[in-house]
Structure 1
């Protein structure tokens, strides 16, 4: 009986999201093994690494030498720079959204991935939930006339996620990739999109889809709610089809994400949620604000 060796993964970042999701997920295995951690704050990297029996790397290049894949849990401006270097070093990439802080940096990552021929996968967390996949499966045979959606929470009002780039760029760049991905997949390919409002407070997206359907997305990280609210409603002649994350256990996503990333690395082939998908979502965000 042949046993596939776990994929050795290095983690870039040691902040809250790196500690609570990436490091724990990658270390739990069995498909992956956390081998090294690098962060600009050496003490933070060392704390995370020691918790999971990994090495605190002194430089990104040392981390690359200690792994076959690199996971990112850093601001998009840092991710885009280091992801290009990791791809050129021949490493598979587990990438956060947004791919970059702007379209040019996102394109640089996607281009580097393509040129190096490395595996890439986006951490669009909701896509790995069984409930999301069932909704998207049902949407394939649902004729949509129109749709509305929202992703709302109060994390920007204070706490660990109220970080510099989120407060500066707001919900469009942080939450927008999630809803645009779901609408682009469930309703149909988005042909045109425009944004109104202030992304730091509340932004509204209006989308026209290639199949003639229209949809809306409401985004805010600055409204006080008991819990985050993500909801997508599809309407058509058949009735309605609703996706709502209320009551879902988001921990169900991590084993799926880990297993699919490891399988892609071992097969040498990226899946649907590759860096190219991240670039597509960044292009939609750019189009929304330049119309």
Structure 2
């Protein structure tokens, strides 16, 4: 049988370190090519992984059954809608977009074209955290979640390659790591029915969410935390006591699991829980939180 062909849009650190190695090493797919806004970077990344660079993104769509995205969210969204219209299944990065209109257009384009979609929220696909989330969702009875994701991308002395990302600099932790936390809270505690948001030091944002289950959650998000304070975690409290989300690693393996999820959704016709519709809902929640922010950086 012919392997599904998956192309990659994007050439930055995330594409270089995660997407391209995962696609090149996946035994069930044919890595069909790379397109980027910098042709020289696309050529280098393609050569490193034994595939072809494309100057014309529509030509990559034509040569692919699915495409993966490693682009800034508001660049990703219109290209994803275009790829869906060309018949390509979509492996999207989070957030799908930072503007609700763009996220909605992407979800509608996927539905109209009848293509499968998966949003790569790492925790939903990582080897240790994915089954933990499923277990806590099935268990139920949770009335409180406390979450924090304190990144140090923008702390003094940071050498992170992601610190050069303009969209992360502009939108901060709310939009970069907020989707990760929501990808856990929504399935475990239910739909968000109320939001309070407060600005903290630097880019930190504190969210208080009410969920359809009656549970509440508190979350602190940042990309500018002091390096020695950098940490991430989620703890649940409820009828069964306390549950602490395990640590995770191996982004390449997690992305490979997301590829498998996309292929299964395309094969079965069953929407994945982390599809473009879910990505739209995450954008709606974060946009609402951003609009409700009280106070400013201190």
Aligned to 1:21: 18
Aligned to 1:108: 105
2:162 is paired with a residue of what secondary structure? coil
Give aligned pairs, total. Answer: 287
Q: CA deviation at 1:248?
A: 4.4
| RMSD (Å) for aligned C-alpha atoms | 1.9
Q: Deviation at 1:249?
A: 4.4
Q: Which residue in the other structure is 2:295 paired with?
A: none
Q: Is the 8 A contact 2:91 2:259 kept in 1?
A: no
Match of 1:40 in 2: 37
Deviations along 1:27-64, one digit per CA (max 9) or x if unpaired, are 11211121111111111000011112211111111111
Per the alignment, do residues 199 and 271 of structure 1 end up closer, same or farther by CA in structure 2, a change over 3 Å counting? farther
Distance between the aligned counterparts of 1:199 and 1:175, measured in 2?
A: 16
Q: Distance in 1 between matches of 2:229 and 2:162?
A: 14
Quote the residue 1:118 is aligned against.
115
Q: Specify every segment of 5 or more residues in structure 1 that has no aligned partner in the other structure, as ranges.
A: none
Deviation at 1:267, TM superposition (A): 3.2
Structure 1 residue 261: deviation in Å? 2.0
Alpha-carbon shift at residue 200 of structure 1 (Å): 5.2
1:198 Cα shift? 5.0
1: distance between equivalents of 2:269 and 2:140?
34
**Separation in structure 2 between the aligned mates of residue 180 and residue 16 of structure 1, nearest angstrom:** 24
Following superposition, the deviation at residue 160 of structure 1 comes to 1.6
Within 2, Cα distance between the matches of 1:40 and 1:197? Answer: 34
Measure the CA separation in 1 of the matches of 2:139 and 2:12. 41
Q: 1:153 to 1:287 in 2, by over 3 A?
A: same
Q: After TM superposition, give the deviation of residue 145 of structure 1 in Å.
A: 2.0
The TM-score with structure 1 as length reference comes to 0.92
Which moved further from structure 2: 175-184 or 129-138?
129-138
Residue 196 of structure 1 contacts residue 203 of structure 1 at CA under 8 Å; is this kept in 2?
Answer: yes
Q: Distance in 2 between matches of 1:273 and 1:20?
A: 22
After TM superposition, the structure 1 stretch with the greater mean CA deviation from structure 2, 279-288 or 254-263, is: 254-263
- Decide whether aligned partners of structure 1 residues 106 and 199 sit closer, same or farther in structure 2, where only a CA change above 3 A counts: farther
